[in-house]
């Protein structure tokens, strides 16, 4: 069984600025600079204005929910790949895929970056599937919440980074 989800992340910056930051290697390298257990692989398969971001991170044991800890077969390693296309007018589309090691979880979906009166927003639509008998359905909402928290953390980082660029 899988769980569908959708949510929107609001940004206070214009679409063009956010898209430029999302597709710039140095921004992602800065984002992951202090992540001791993370890896980052960046490429631009569609040329300028596009990016493929593949990231992995080992979750610290104290951050793993107890229900997840009970079914872990090994360390929990989170993997996510985001792909952003070039801007088409004021809209950019993207995709994401995620998986975990230690527990059989898959997540995938789409992003749509578009303007708002206050700046921009990213609409996230996806599905998550946790292939663990009996408790998979209870873990799926936790995976969705984690993705939401990560994207809100990235929102804060990108807004601060862009504000720093404006004053530089």
Which CATH number is 120's domain given? 3.30.530.20
Average pLDDT of the residues of the chain? 88
Give helix then strand counts, H and E, for the chain.
4, 7
Determine the structural domain holding residue 15 and report its residue range: 3-167
Mean per-residue pLDDT for 110-124?
97
- d(C-alpha 101, C-alpha 131), whole Å: 12
Look at 127-131, 139-143, 164-168 and tell me which has the smallest mean pLDDT. Answer: 164-168
Mean per-residue pLDDT for 24-31?
95
DSSP secondary structure of 58-124: EPPGGGS-HHHHTT-SS--EEEEEEEEPPPBTTBEEEEEEEEEETTTEEEEEEEEEEEETTEEEEEE
Count of domains for the chain: 1
The model's pTM: 0.87
Mean per-residue pLDDT for 86-115?
93
165 band by pLDDT with thresholds 50, 70 and 90 = confident
108 band by pLDDT with thresholds 50, 70 and 90 = very high
């Amino acid at each position: 069984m899988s769980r569908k989800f959708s949510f929107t992340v609001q940004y206070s910056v214009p679409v063009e600025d956010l898209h430029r930051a999302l597709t710039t290697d140095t921004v992602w390298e800065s984002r992951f600079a202090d992540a001791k257990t993370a890896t980052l692989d960046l490429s631009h398969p569609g040329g300028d204005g596009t990016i493929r971001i593949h990231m992995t991170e080992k979750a610290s044991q104290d951050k793993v929910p107890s229900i997840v800890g009970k079914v872990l077969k090994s360390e929990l390693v989170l993997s996510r790949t985001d792909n952003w296309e070039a801007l088409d007018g004021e809209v950019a589309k993207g995709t994401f895929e995620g998986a975990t090691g230690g527990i059989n979880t898959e997540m995938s979906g789409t992003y749509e970056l578009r303007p708002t009166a206050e700046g921009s927003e990213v609409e996230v639509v996806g599905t998550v599937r946790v292939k663990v008998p009996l408790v998979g359905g209870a873990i799926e909402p936790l995976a969705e919440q984690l993705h939401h928290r990560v994207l809100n953390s990235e929102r804060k980082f990108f807004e601060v980074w862009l504000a720093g660029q404006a004053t530089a």
